[in-house]
Amino acid sequence: MANPIFANLPMTVFEEMSGLARDLGAINLGQGFPDDPGPLAIRQKAADAVLNGYNQYPPMAGLPELRQAVVAHYGRHQGLGLDWTKEVTITSGATEALAAVFLGLIQPGDEVICFQPLYDSYLPVIRQAGGVPKLIRLSPPDWRFTEAMLEAAVTPKTRFLVLNNPVNPTGVVVSEADLALLAAFCVRHDLTAICDEVWEQVVFGGVRHHPLMGFPGMRDRCVKIGSAGKMFGLTGWKVGFICAAPDLTRAIARTHQFLTFTTAPNLQTAVAYGLETAADWFETMPREMERSRDRLESGLVAEGFVVLPGQGTYFLTIDLAASGIELDDRSFALHGVHKAGIASIPVSALYEADPVTTILRLCFAKGDETLDEGIVRMAKARDLIRK
């Protein structure tokens, strides 16, 4: 018999819109993957490791050289001191990492605070683990939480809080002040924070990503999840990492061993090489992404769209209502892909309750020609409504 938690779920909005883009020949500014193939030297390292390296089972926790490289990277970039032997687990992507964390830590009846809008894998896996999501609704244009919102969500049964930062789909990088507020809240209520930080290298305009793990009281009550696919623009590689204190890591690893057990050794080798040698990439990639963001934003603004501020990720958002468009976001997204050949993501699909229905997400990790044509087609979609 099918598991009712998963069997009754609809197709994800990302698969739906990308499928429509493929079927209709539309430009896909919906799903978040870049046009650029990723750093050549890292891809060459992966190819060489297949031909000349080890192709049998690597250790369940990951290759030692990759775990060491992850620790060194976070030490350099975020000032974290981690023990690669006890506090790092390599996973087959960040989605598997999230599943291993939720299934490994959550006990039946545990309440888990989550912020909406949210990545669509969170809630079904939390529920599969027996957890009870407690949803905090965030709203445009600033998408901020407050202490009052946090306190209203917590009960004696609350055990965990899930934070995505930088935030998909809003493009917000949570401020240091708001992170300090969140850390104090977790300490006060004895909560473990599960931090989805896959976009940590993709931030713009002098904004800095601060890991929640680095705040007072959070070192041993924080699980940090990263993604090589997002760091290097190699989303199909599905190499993730989990960093946590030893007690948390042991519980998570026991679950990971029964999910994917391990990850392709050639990709692990190449990611370790990238983390050790790609300092230039971590300087140039965010600047190129920022340039693409600015190109899409300025083109949309010139066409009369109201674009909300974006500080990180591959995404920016349009306020449809403020742009004079009366359709809700899902209706406009379907209209756009069918009538104007442009795929986007309605942010309402990333709420479970009381959704904001006026915000559309677009991916700017694309070539200039694609972005320029996307702008033309967005304007066409709007104009067809007005005729």
| pLDDT single digits (tens) 352-387 | 999 999 999 999 999 999 999 999 999 999 999 976
Cα 251 from Cα 253, distance rounded (Å) = 6
Give the mean pLDDT of 73-93.
97
Q: What is the pLDDT of residue 12?
A: 82
Residue 31 has pLDDT above 90, yes or no: no
Q: What is the pLDDT of residue 10?
A: 66
Name every residue whose Cβ is closer than 8 Å to that of residue 6 and which is 6 or more positions away in sequence: 124, 128
Q: In the sheet that 158-164 helps form, which strands lie side by side, from edge to edge?
A: 88-91, 240-243, 222-227, 192-196, 158-164, 111-116, 132-137
User: Where residue 241 falls among pLDDT bands split at 50, 70, 90?
Assistant: very high
Cα 303 from Cα 19, distance rounded (Å) = 27
The residues facing 241 across adjacent strands are 90, 226
Q: What is the pLDDT of residue 37?
A: 93
CB contact burial 362-379 (16+ within 10 A = b; e otherwise): bbbbbeeebbebbbbbbb
Is the distance from CB of 32 to CB of 168 less than 8 angstroms? yes
Q: What domains sit in the chain, N to C, each tagged with a CATH number?
A: 4-31+281-386 (3.90.1150.10), 40-277 (3.40.640.10)
Give the mean pLDDT of 281-295.
96
Is the distance from CB of 343 to CB of 27 less than 8 angstroms? yes
Grouping H, G, I as helix, E, B as strand and the rest as coil, residue 191 is coil
Q: What is the pLDDT of residue 6?
A: 62
Q: Residue 362 corresponds to which tokens in the numbers above?
A: 């677009």
Q: What is the pLDDT of residue 187?
A: 98
For the chain, the average pLDDT equals 95
- Comparing CA positions, the residue from 69, 155, 169 lying closest to residue 116 is 169
Q: How many residues comprise the chain? A: 387
Q: What is the pLDDT of residue 7?
A: 60
Q: What is the pLDDT of residue 15?
A: 87
Cα 143 from Cα 139, distance rounded (Å) = 5
Give the mean pLDDT of 117-126.
95
Is the distance from CB of 334 to CB of 384 less than 8 angstroms? no
| pLDDT single digits (tens) 207-236 | 999 999 999 999 999 999 999 999 999 999
Q: Residue 155 phi/psi, 5° resolution?
A: -140, 175
Is the distance from CB of 296 to CB of 371 less than 8 angstroms? yes
| pLDDT single digits (tens) 36-73 | 899 999 999 999 999 999 999 999 999 999 999 999 99
Residue 295 has pLDDT above 90, yes or no: yes
Give the mean pLDDT of 278-301.
96
- Comparing CA positions, the residue from 297, 276, 81 lying closest to residue 204 is 297
Cα 210 from Cα 385, distance rounded (Å) = 42
Q: Which sign, positive or negative, has the C-alpha torsion 304, 348, 163, 226?
A: negative
Residue 3 has pLDDT above 90, yes or no: no
Cα 285 from Cα 238, distance rounded (Å) = 19
Name every residue whose Cβ is closer than 8 Å to that of residue 311 and which is 6 or more positions away in sequence: 166, 171, 172, 173, 203, 204, 205, 207
User: Where residue 32 falls among pLDDT bands split at 50, 70, 90?
Assistant: confident
- Comparing CA positions, the residue from 112, 199, 117 lying closest to residue 162 is 112
Give the mean pLDDT of 23-41.
91
| pLDDT single digits (tens) 171-199 | 999 999 999 999 999 999 999 999 999 99
| pLDDT single digits (tens) 306-362 | 999 999 999 999 999 999 999 999 999 999 999 999 999 999 999 999 999 999 999
Q: Reply yes or no: is the peptide bond before residue 117 cis, omega within 30 of 0.
A: yes
